[in-house]
């Protein structure tokens, strides 16, 4: 006896096939936003913590820091050491707390650009271009654009501050300009070498 069309549609195979092709529900926007906020918190802890550590090391042994910069040929070494120490320390705290995050990210990015230039200036550029200052600077730049997320002082207490796209771009330009100006005015050494510089 032949199987009717209705019976075929209700067979276990047909039911199983129908169940396998059922679309899964898409993740809710609230869940995605929560995961993004956790990701931003992790990024802030990493970039902010590393910048703060670098700043505190210099602050607690400031005389050694300024002497190191003097020996390296920096002009006004105490002033230069004060600038980088302040940028790393204050900027690192700002990133950790997520407080005035674009300003903190601007300070850290500027300091890391100078630190990156110091690291690559002593050898061929391609020997170690993606060093620790480079990675911290990339993290700071990402936070400059993305913001601190929900788990931050900005989100809890400083919502009245508005960071427009133009202001964010202006802070990025300021970070790069401050790093270049500091490097040229206080050091003046070409940091990019395609072969190891002569000693």
Higher pLDDT, residue 95 or 2: 95
How far is residue 54's CA from residue 119's CA, in Å, rounded to a whole number? Answer: 14
| Mean pLDDT rounded to a whole number for the chain | 85
Tokens of 199: 């000693």
Per-residue pLDDT reduced to its tens digit, 106-126:
999 999 999 998 888 777 666
- Which pLDDT belongs to residue 188? 82
Q: Which two tokens stand for residue 149?
A: 């997320």
Whole-number Å distance between alpha carbons of 12 and 145: 53
CA distance 130 to 146: 22
pTM value? 0.81
pLDDT at 160 over 90: no
In the predicted structure, residue 14 carries a pLDDT above the cut 50: no
Q: Does residue 76 or residue 120 have the better pLDDT?
A: 76
Rounded to whole angstroms, the Cα distance separating 143 from 115 reads 19
Contact 16, 56 (CB under 8 A): no
Q: How confident is the model at residue 158 (pLDDT cuts 50, 70, 90)?
A: confident
User: What pLDDT does residue 129 have?
Assistant: 75
Q: 161 with 100: CB under 8 angstroms?
A: yes
- pLDDT bin (cut points 50, 70, 90) of residue 83 is very high
> Tokens standing for 144?
């400059």
State yes or no: pLDDT of 5 exceeds 70: no
pLDDT at 161: 79
pLDDT tens string 31-45: 677 899 999 999 999
């Amino acid at each position: 006896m032949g199987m009717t069309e209705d019976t075929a549609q209700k067979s276990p195979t047909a039911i199983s096939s129908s169940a396998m092709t059922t679309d899964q529900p898409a993740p809710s926007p609230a869940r995605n936003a929560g995961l993004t906020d956790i990701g931003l918190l992790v990024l802030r802890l990493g970039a902010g913590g590393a910048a703060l550590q670098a700043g505190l090391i210099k602050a607690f042994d400031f005389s050694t820091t300024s002497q190191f910069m003097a020996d390296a040929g920096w002009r006004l070494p105490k002033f230069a050491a004060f600038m980088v120490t302040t940028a790393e320390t204050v900027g690192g705290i700002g990133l950790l707390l997520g407080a005035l995050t674009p300003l903190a990210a601007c300070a850290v990015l500027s300091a890391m650009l100078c630190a990156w230039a110091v690291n690559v200036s002593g050898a061929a550029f391609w020997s170690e271009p993606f060093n620790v200052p480079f990675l911290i600077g990339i993290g700071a730049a990402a936070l400059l654009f993305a913001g601190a997320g929900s788990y931050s002082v900005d989100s809890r207490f400083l919502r009245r501050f508005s960071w427009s796209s133009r202001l964010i771009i202006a802070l990025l330009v300021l970070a790069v300009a401050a790093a270049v100006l500091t490097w040229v005015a206080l050091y003046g050494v070409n940091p990019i070498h395609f072969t190891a510089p002569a000693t």
